Amino acid sequence: MYRFIISLIVLFVFGNGFAQETEVQKKKIEQDSIIYKTAYGLRLGIDISKPIKVAFEDSYNSGLEIVADYRISKRFFIATEVGFEEQTSNEYYNNSSSKGNYIRLGFNYNAYENWLDMNNEIFVGYRYGFSRFEQSLNNFTPNISNTYFPANTTSPNTTANLNAHWSELMVGLKVETLKNIFVGFSVSYKVLMSAKEPDNFKTLFSPGFNRIFESRTGFGFNYTISYTIPFAKK
């Protein structure tokens, strides 16, 4: 009889311990299998480097850039920037100004592997850029005066309906500082594909592309603050 009772007690203890261990393993599996969903939606923001340039660069007259992207998968985003710029170019023998609108359209690929519910980005991207603008030759003083360019030309000569096309590669990062609020920074390498020139003068600056050099290449950067309007979580 005693042997039977002892056997029941031993069976109960081992059975209860096995049940508790199984429950712990089950909870651990459930915790490990939790899926953290990420917000999908439209992210809108502004490039705050443009107002800073206006404040500290005399040649940069005005600028505004709106940035936006839309997440289409875990790592890919459709992205665009739309803006306006006005810049004055001072050369050795001339002074000119350009102003107009631009748009850049392309995509970003997020190469950063987030932990748990983090939503940060280290991305590479591509943009096609297009601008439409006007350029004014404010004054011109040639080395040698001639019939077309007499010395000390001071009457502004404005050419409208100019345009430029370019491609650019970019790298950057975006960090979620508060829920759905991001601070970002990016740099880009630009290659000019074409630019319409004024008669008897060169296009020196294109909004969205920046200064146009003989190499037809250039660099750009932006510093953005943006907010995601979440439509869904996946």
pLDDT in tens, 176-200: 999 999 999 999 999 999 999 888 7
Q: What is the pLDDT of residue 23?
A: 53
CA 62 to chain centroid, in Å, comes to: 20
Q: What is the pLDDT of residue 8?
A: 44
Q: What is the pLDDT of residue 5?
A: 46
Top-confidence residue, 14 or 59? 59
Domain 40-233 has CATH 2.40.160: yes
| pLDDT of 27 strictly over 60 | no
| pLDDT of 124 strictly over 80 | yes
User: For residue range 61-118, what is the model confidence (pLDDT) as tens digits?
Assistant: 999 999 999 999 989 999 999 999 999 988 777 788 999 999 999 999 999 988 877 8
Length of the chain: 234
* Residues of the chain above pLDDT 90, percent: 57
* Segment 6-22 mean pLDDT: 48
Q: What is the pLDDT of residue 18?
A: 44
The first and second tokens of residue 69, run together, are 């992207």
> Across the strands, what pairs with 96?
89, 137
Top-confidence residue, 86 or 18? 86
Q: Which of 96, 165, 167, 168 has the alpha carbon at shortest distance from 135?
A: 96
> Across the strands, what pairs with 78?
70, 107
Top-confidence residue, 35 or 60? 60
- Report d(CA 96, CA 203) in Å as an integer: 9
- Report d(CA 211, CA 204) in Å as an integer: 6
Where exactly are the structural domains of the chain? 1-34, 40-233
Q: What is the mean pLDDT of the chain?
A: 83
Q: Which amino acid is at 19?
A: A
| pLDDT of 46 strictly over 70 | yes
Q: Which of 220, 218, 221, 207 has the alpha carbon at shortest distance from 89?
A: 207
| pLDDT of 24 strictly over 80 | no
- Report d(CA 190, CA 127) in Å as an integer: 9
Top-confidence residue, 3 or 140? 140
Q: How confident is the model at residue 143 (pLDDT cuts 50, 70, 90)?
A: low
